[in-house]
Amino acid sequence: MGSPLPGPYSWRWHPWVRELHDSWTPESYVMKGAQLGVTEVAINRSFYTLDVLKRDVMYVLPTATAAGDFSKTRFASALSLSPYIGDMFTDVNSVQLKRAGANSLYIRGSKSRTGLKSAPVSELVLDEVDEMDIDRVLVLAKERLSGQIHKHTWGISTPTVPEHGIHKLFIDSTQEHFQFRCPGCNQFIELIWPDNIAIVGEYGSDPRCAESYLKCCKCGKRLEHAEKPNYLADGRWIATKTNPNIRGFHINQLYSFTVSPGELVSAYLKSRNDELASTEFFNSKLGLPFVGAGARITGEMVNNAIRDYSVADLRPAFAGERLITLGIDQGIINYAVVCEWKQVTPDLSDVSSAFTCRVLWAGSYPGEDWSPLYQLMREWQVLYAVVDWQPETNEARRFARKFSGYAGLCRYERGKSPREIATSDEDSGAPLHKVDRSSWLSTSLGRFKCNPTTIELPRDLPGPFASHIQCLVRTYERDDDGAVSVVYKTTGDGVDHYAHALNYAEIALHKVPHAAESLGRSR
């Protein structure tokens, strides 16, 4: 092994990983803090499956770029540090495919449908689960295991938000925690925050933070950081639930040999009153999901937006009589939201802030029949409609062409400037609007957080509408350069279609044709 713990690979510095190597239930998932030796377990298991079991492995990372970086760094490093592992492989020229005699290691990005369906394997490793569309990935990637007698799925990740990604998988598992005997009272305990730490210091840069220490939550004995190899050595995983098919493990940085109690306390004190720092502390240090204040729409916020009107109220009599837009999130079921907009300020430099939204109607139709969506355009005299461009791109294009100048497709793209709508006219004749998903969701969902709200809902909306709005949670991600961006994760059952349909209706406000005349009429 290389830095920071050079020398032969050993359980000594990470005793909790010993049993992880030997978990051969059909599915095993580890919800963890950062830098706790778990990725090395996934790599070791992959090599063992290739070398000893003589079976194929697929190692999946969030993106093709991440897969390439892993292949060139972690994989190449293992080969250079271990002559035995280096001799295992007969062909390593391809970034995505490594040959070990008759067996193969496939290294794939999670976004490639073709890559995930390309080969049958016995061992499936999902690294950084929370950065993947895990429901989609599991369906596609697990199919690669279906023809195997011996098959295992191994997933690891730091969590982000509750009921999403690795936390969602952990909930359905054995939910195991690493416990050890306290050298003072001889009782089995687990290192958890804040029960097992004595916090010294008042602010993040306080030099007294270094005086903080671990302690037994039962007898109060001080647990020396330097003695961890001794008192953790005989630790064991304790299950809190029964599931013969799915083991789940949780481990945090209180166990780490490379992160001192003082560093943890400093990070905690810095995180107070800072949502981004709190998110990183809970996710990366404690290995726990976290939701900041105001990061999700609550049931109370939805209730505060309900007014005494109905989805059955009168439709407009004439085109342009009212400023009405339509948002459509399409798929197996098409979800639609109709909104009316009222201008409340004369300043149109920020159109969304200048208008309030009244949801007039929301509903869903089977995805194979688009005729009700055509009817909605006529029934509500819609001035502009925005339609999700996938999965039925041809149907979406046909819809946009039918209402040329009054409808367009929308594709979420990361990296666009906030509120930017980059429009290109496709060869198909349907305009494609490219927008940043997170910034627009912040705009449309943010209406519920205003006091008073800048969105109104009818009293008789479809039952799922409120739950769809509430399942999106704001969190943060850092890219490879350390830049922070806001992202929205889908929690719970993962159904958020009305939220996106509402978002498309918000985007449509900015694309109303003959905007000046229409906005003028709305006043």
Whether 439 has a pLDDT exceeding 60, the answer reads: yes
Q: Of 79-83, 167-171, 447-451, give the lowest mean pLDDT range.
A: 79-83
Q: What's the rounded Cα separation, in Å, for the pair 382 and 351?
A: 18
Q: What is the pLDDT of residue 15?
A: 96
pLDDT tens per residue, range 466-505:
999 999 999 988 776 777 888 999 998 879 999 999 999 9
Q: Which fold has domain 23-172?
A: Rossmann fold (3.40.50)
Q: What is the pLDDT of residue 139?
A: 83
Q: Which residue has the higher pLDDT, 30 or 72?
A: 30
pLDDT tens per residue, range 6-36:
888 888 999 999 999 999 999 999 999 999 9
Q: What's the rounded Cα separation, in Å, for the pair 392 and 311?
A: 27
- The stretch 150-179 carries a mean pLDDT of 95
Q: What is the pLDDT of residue 426?
A: 65
Tell me the domain boundaries of the chain. 23-172, 180-242+257-288, 299-522
Asked whether the beta carbons of 125 and 57 are under 8 A apart, the reply is yes
What confidence tier does 464 reach under pLDDT thresholds 50, 70, 90? very high
Whether 518 has a pLDDT exceeding 60, the answer reads: no
Percent of all residues in the chain with a pLDDT value above 70, rounded to a whole number = 96
Q: What's the rounded Cα separation, in Å, for the pair 51 and 101?
A: 9
The token pair at 445 is 């969902």
Whether 513 has a pLDDT exceeding 80, the answer reads: no
Query: CATH second-level architecture of 299-522?
Result: 2-Layer Sandwich (3.30)
What confidence tier does 216 reach under pLDDT thresholds 50, 70, 90? very high
Whether 421 has a pLDDT exceeding 50, the answer reads: yes
Residue 231 has a CB neighbour count (10 Å cut-off) of 19
Mean pLDDT for the chain overall: 91
3-state secondary structure of 161: coil
What confidence tier does 521 reach under pLDDT thresholds 50, 70, 90? very low
Q: What is the pLDDT of residue 111?
A: 82
Q: Edge-to-edge strands of the sheet including 407-412? A: 422-425, 431-435, 407-412, 384-388, 324-329, 333-343, 355-366, 455-456
